[in-house]
Structure 1
Amino acid sequence: MELVERYLEHVRVEKRLAARTVELYALDLQKLSENATKAGVELTRVQNTHIRRWVAQMHGAGRSGRGIALILSGWRGFYVWLGRQGLVDSNPVQDVRAPKAPKPLPKALSVDDSVQLAAYANEEADPWLEARDVAMVELLYGCGLRVGELVGLDAKASSAARGWIDPQGGEAHVLGKGGKRRTVPVGRKALEALELWLAVREQHGNGEQAALFTGRQGTRLTAQAIWQRLKRRSLLAGLATPVHPHMLRHSFASHLLQSSGDLRAVQELLGHANITTTQVYTRLDFQHLAKAYDAAHPRAHRPKR
Structure 2
Amino acid sequence: MSESVPHLSTNAHLSTNLHLTTNFAEPLQRFYEYLRSEKGLSLYTQRNYKQQLETMGLYLMSVGVDGWVNVDAGWVRQLASKGMRSGMKESSIATRLSSLRSFFDFLILRGEMSANPAKGVSAPRKKRPLPKNLDVDEMAQLLEVNEDDPLSIRDRAIMELMYGSGLRLAELVSIDVKDVNFSAGEIRVVGKGDKERVAPFSGMAKEWLNNWLKIRSQMANSDEKGLFVSKLGVRISHRSVQKRMAEWGQKQAVPSHISPHKLRHSFATHVLESSNNLRAVQELLGHENISTTQIYTHLDFQHLAQVYDQAHPRAHKRKQNTDKE
Q: Scaled by the length of structure 1, what TM-score is found?
A: 0.75
Q: Matched residues in 2 for 1:18 and 1:44: separation?
A: 27
SS of the residue corresponding to residue 199 of structure 2 reads strand
Q: Matched residues in 1 for 2:87 and 2:99: separation?
A: 19
Residue in 2 that maps onto 1:297: none
Whether the 8 Å contact between 2:166 and 2:268 is mirrored in structure 1 is yes
Q: State the shift of 1:5 in Å.
A: 6.2
Residue in 1 that maps onto 2:55: 31
Whether the 8 Å contact between 2:220 and 2:234 is mirrored in structure 1 is no
Correspondence for 1:55 among 80, 97, 111: 80
Residue in 2 that maps onto 1:171: 186
Q: Give the number of aligned pairs.
A: 269
Residue in 2 that maps onto 1:142: 164
Query: CA separation of 1:23/1:211 partners in 2, compared to 1, >3 Å: closer, same or farther?
Result: closer
State the AA in 2 paired with 1:167.
F
Does 2:67 correspond to 1:67? no
Q: Which has the higher contact order (CA 8 A, sep 6+)?
A: 1
SS of the residue corresponding to residue 119 of structure 1 reads coil
Query: CA separation of 1:74/1:264 partners in 2, compared to 1, >3 Å: closer, same or farther?
Result: same
Residue in 2 that maps onto 1:248: 263
Does 2:28 correspond to 1:7? yes
Does 2:154 correspond to 1:132? yes
Q: Matched residues in 2 for 1:14 and 1:97: separation?
A: 23
Residue in 1 that maps onto 2:131: 106
Q: Matched residues in 2 for 1:275 and 1:60: separation?
A: 31
Q: State the shift of 1:8 in Å.
A: 4.8
Quote the RMSD (CA, aligned, Å). 3.1
Q: Matched residues in 2 for 1:255 and 1:73: separation?
A: 42
Question: What is the correspondence of 1:1-305 to structure 2 with a 5 Å cutoff?
Answer: 1=20, 2=22, 3-4=24-25, 7-8=28-29, 11=32, 15=36, 24-37=48-61, 40-42=64-66, 43-60=68-85, 62-121=87-146, 123=147, 127-156=149-178, 163-164=179-180, 166-204=181-219, 209-274=224-289
**Which stretch has the larger CA shift, 195-204 or 138-147?**
195-204
SS of the residue corresponding to residue 137 of structure 1 reads helix
Whether the 8 Å contact between 2:154 and 2:212 is mirrored in structure 1 is yes
- Any stretches of 5+ residues in structure 2 without a counterpart? 1-19, 295-325
State the AA in 1 paired with 2:163.
Y
Query: CA separation of 1:8/1:249 partners in 2, compared to 1, >3 Å: closer, same or farther?
Result: farther
Whether the 8 Å contact between 2:282 and 2:290 is mirrored in structure 1 is no
State the AA in 2 paired with 1:36.
L
Q: Matched residues in 2 for 1:138 and 1:267: separation?
A: 20
Q: Matched residues in 1 for 2:110 and 2:174: separation?
A: 60
Q: State the shift of 1:69 in Å.
A: 0.5
Query: CA separation of 1:19/1:178 partners in 2, compared to 1, >3 Å: closer, same or farther?
Result: closer
Q: Matched residues in 2 for 1:37 and 1:11: separation?
A: 19
Residue by residue over 1:34-57, the C-alpha shift from the partner in whole angstroms, topping out at 9 and shown as x without a partner, is 442365322221112321233244
Residue by residue over 1:122-180, the C-alpha shift from the partner in whole angstroms, topping out at 9 and shown as x without a partner, is x4xx8111111111011011110111221122223xxxxxx32x333333332323443
Whether the 8 Å contact between 1:201 and 1:207 is mirrored in structure 2 is no
Whether the 8 Å contact between 1:128 and 1:200 is mirrored in structure 2 is yes
**Which stretch has the larger CA shift, 267-276 or 134-143?**
267-276
Q: Matched residues in 2 for 1:204 and 1:85: separation?
A: 70
SS of the residue corresponding to residue 184 of structure 2 reads coil
Q: State the shift of 1:10 in Å.
A: 5.7
Query: CA separation of 1:191/1:18 partners in 2, compared to 1, >3 Å: closer, same or farther?
Result: closer
Residue in 1 that maps onto 2:313: none
State the AA in 1 paired with 2:94.
A
Q: Matched residues in 2 for 1:243 and 1:205: separation?
A: 26
State the AA in 2 paired with 1:55.
A
Q: State the shift of 1:246 in Å.
A: 1.6
Q: Scaled by the length of structure 2, what TM-score is found?
A: 0.71
Q: State the shift of 1:278 in Å.
A: 11
**Which stretch has the larger CA shift, 226-235 or 254-263?**
226-235
State the AA in 2 paired with 1:229.
R
Q: State the shift of 1:276 in Å.
A: 6.1
Whether the 8 Å contact between 2:219 and 2:233 is mirrored in structure 1 is no
Whether the 8 Å contact between 1:55 and 1:98 is mirrored in structure 2 is yes
Whether the 8 Å contact between 1:147 and 1:223 is mirrored in structure 2 is yes
